[in-house]
Amino acid sequence: MQITPMIATLERVLAAAAAPLVAPLGLATRLYVGWVFVNSGRLKVSDWPQTLSLFESEYHVPLLSPHLAAYAGAAGELAFGTLVIVGLAGRASAAGLFAVNALAFISYRHVLLQDGFEAAVGQHLLWGFMLLTLVVHGPGQWSLDRLLAGRGAAGPAGIRAAA
């Protein structure tokens, strides 16, 4: 047997084995990355004086006052994180959360780029990668977007999603 047909056969076997995992992996990605940011937003809100202090002294958010940045950060984490979890406005909410993650990294880069913070940088990169994957592939079959599309709601350009 030649190598090319063997590779093609292996590709078909792997694709068939992976197919049932697509929906659960999309859901797991949304649940994990959404939870990370909802939890962060919840922590900000639970100790607002401390949050304001951190935004005034530690986080250097460009173009925004510390108080506006604190409100925007907490609101973005809570709103976009929740939307990502349930898969509503999936691509847009993942893009919004990607922006929150990028701004968090930029705002704290003076600490994150020091020696000893490689794991924290890795976390931001992982979350960014997961969110970009959701932007590119959408929230998946097990999402409110898909549920609403199945009930007759039209998607982009009026196209109905397949069931």
Q: Rounded mean pLDDT of 60-83?
A: 97
For residue 144, which of 85, 82, 88, 79 has the smallest C-alpha distance? 88
pTM of the complete model: 0.85
Top mean pLDDT of 9-13, 45-49, 60-64 is at 45-49
Q: Rounded mean pLDDT of 81-91?
A: 98
Region of 138 on the Ramachandran plot (φ > 0 left; ψ -120 to 50 alpha; else beta): left
For residue 136, the model assigns a pLDDT of 97
Per domain, the residue ranges of the chain are 23-150
CA 158/CA 117 separation, integer angstroms: 46
